[in-house]
Amino acid sequence: MQEATTEPAYDHAGGPAYLALSAAMNAAQERYLEAYRRCRASADEAATAELVSLRTEMERRQTAFRSARRAREPFVAATRAATVRAYWSARPVRGIPDTFFADAPPHTAAARMQRIHPPWWGAFLGRLQAPLSHGHPAAGCLLDILPQLRRDARRKKLSALLTEWHEAHADRWGLFSEIHYRMLARRAARKAAQVAAWFDASAPRYRTSEAVRFALHAELADRLAAADPWAVAVPTRYSGAWLSEHGPN
């Protein structure tokens, strides 16, 4: 949407003079390229002299055109930003819809559990939606990059790095308010400890042993397949699709 907005914004800001300048530059480029093709096919000195003259004219037009664009960059940037704000204002970035897992392949755990035990699935999806309705998806990305930003803060203040990160991801995530990274990091650390303790109690060595993870994934897939009221083709357990049934967790 931003790309579709950019050139019309330049045209609107520049008006007829800008459009005429653009047309003149394009015409000069076409004349130069045509002369270049003729010059390559001929060793005529006159053709070479014409080529030099046309190139000089083309570069003059290009310089004038770039200067005109630079003068209008603030207007174009504001137009692009307004496009982003309008886009995100119509699209909530928090929460997941009831249809979030609708396109899950039929052999996956998500698809099977919906068929095996619909009441359990409904309760699970509701509990999944509740916390995600409050957080922002960009917060997870910030947590991932925060250690690197802290290491880089020796050359620049962390607050400045966070501001740059915020601005760089505003278009993608629709970030229009500051993320309080200290509180976010503390809460995330507590949640991570709770999740780790749950895994250690429920599935010992799951977090530390790839063999244990593989075995548990395979056993879960087998049990779900046995209970599934639908007979669906499943990938072989030695394929990548088998391991992807439950995702990285």
The predicted pLDDT at position 205 comes to 95
CA gap 217, 223 in Å, rounded: 10
- As given in the structure block, the two tokens for residue 35 are 């002369």
Residues in Cβ contact with 54 at an 8 Å cutoff, skipping those fewer than 6 apart? 28, 31, 32, 35
**Could you give the 3-state DSSP secondary structure of residue 55?**
helix
H helix runs in 90-180, sequence order = 109-116, 118-132, 137-152, 158-168, 170-173
Q: What is the pLDDT of residue 159?
A: 87
Q: Position of tokens 């309008």?
A: 86
Return the pLDDT at 171: 76
**Are 106 and 74 in contact, with CB atoms under 8 Å apart?**
no
Report the predicted TM-score, pTM, of the whole model to 2 decimal places.
0.55
Instruction: Count CB-CB contacts under 10 A for residue 53.
Output: 13
The pLDDT value given to residue 246? 47
Nearest to 218 by CA among 246, 195, 180: 246
Burial 86-118 (b: 16+ CB within 10 A, else e): eebeeeeeeeeeeeebeeeeebbbbbbbbebee
Structure confidence at residue 225 (pLDDT) = 92
Q: Comparing C-alpha atoms, which of 207, 212, 209, 181 is closest to residue 196? A: 207
Q: What is the pLDDT along the chain (249 residues), one digit of tens a residue?
A: 888 999 999 999 999 999 999 999 999 999 999 988 888 777 666 778 888 899 999 999 999 999 999 999 999 999 998 888 888 788 777 788 899 999 999 999 999 999 999 999 999 999 999 988 887 778 888 999 999 999 888 878 888 898 888 888 877 777 667 788 889 899 999 999 999 999 999 999 999 999 999 999 999 999 999 999 998 877 665 455 545 544 444
pLDDT at 166: 86
Burial class (CB in 10 A: 0-12, 13-18, 19+), 233: exposed
Structural domain boundaries in the chain? 2-89
Round to whole Å and give the CA distance between 119 and 85.
39
- At residue 232, the pLDDT reads 83
Instruction: Quote the pLDDT of residue 139.
Output: 85
Over the Cα atoms of the chain, what is R_g? 29
